[in-house]
A and B are shown apart, each in its own frame.
Chain A
């Protein structure tokens, strides 16, 4: 069974601090995708990144960076110089394929509520 664990329920930082959100996953699939989504108070989930299981390169996008390590089954997300607008719930997710290889379903972690204080 697929499982995504976000051990940090809530994190509170002061603006300009760096913060890392942890994500650990479990899967028996050799091919899978990992995602991060941001859910601000408005409720809409915003896609941040997709990483496939064969690409372990870390990625940086502006103040965001992601560290994917298959050896520890982790896909951590770091925000550098955090801002108040970064306050949101962040979800890590893992996609699986059904027996037919289509209809990829997402397994979500429970989310981490990040609060960035001015």
Chain B
């Protein structure tokens, strides 16, 4: 099956620093990737849709200058949390969309746990 990797798996940083998270589709090309945020015991919240070669589309309420997304290739999207603060601490999950004919499925990475001190 399709495999998506995410790096790092966890990160602890000081308030004010920037953190970059990578999402890679390992065995398929993904023109579209998605970034989600999940708080403990809650569902996934879509933050943005990342399209290869174009600007990301952000969901309402998500600060695009805070969460920078770059989809530089068909297998890599990055999320940079700029000037991170404790309230940005969360579990960030990416997914990559595989399209086979008319059928599409999102495959998820293992997630990145961010703790901002």
Q: Once the chains bind, are A47 and B108 in contact (CB under 8 Å)?
A: yes
Cβ-closest chain A residue relative to B105? A50
Cβ-defined contact, A91 with B44, below 8 A:
yes
Chain B, interface SS category:
strand
- Report chain A residues within 8 Å CB of B1: 47
> Do A110 and B110 have beta carbons less than 8 Å apart?
no
Chain A facing B: main interface SS: strand
A103 to B56, CA, bound (A): 11
List chain B residues, Cβ under 8 A from A47: 1, 105-108
Task: Count how many pairs of residues, one from A and one from B, have CB atoms less than 8 Å apart in the complex.
Answer: 55
Contact of B97 with A43 in the complex, beta carbons under 8 Å = no
**CB within 8 Å of A: which of B63-117?**
91, 93, 95, 97, 103-111, 113
Q: A47-B107, A47-B108, A91-B44 are in contact. List 4 more A-B contacts (CB 8 A).
A: A35-B105, A43-B91, A104-B106, A110-B42
Residues on B with C-beta less than 8 A from A43 are: 91, 93, 110-111, 113
Q: Could you pull out 22 A-B pairs where Cβ atoms are within 8 angstroms?
A: A33-B105, A42-B110, A43-B91, A43-B110, A43-B111, A44-B108, A44-B109, A44-B110, A45-B44, A45-B93, A45-B95, A47-B1, A52-B103, A91-B44, A103-B32, A103-B49, A103-B51, A104-B97, A104-B106, A105-B46, A106-B34, A108-B43
Question: How many B residues, CB 8 Å from partner?
Answer: 24
Which residues of A are found within 8 Å of B15, using beta-carbon distances?
Answer: none
Answer whether A108 and B44 are a contact pair too, CB < 8 Å, given A47-B1, A103-B51, A103-B57: yes
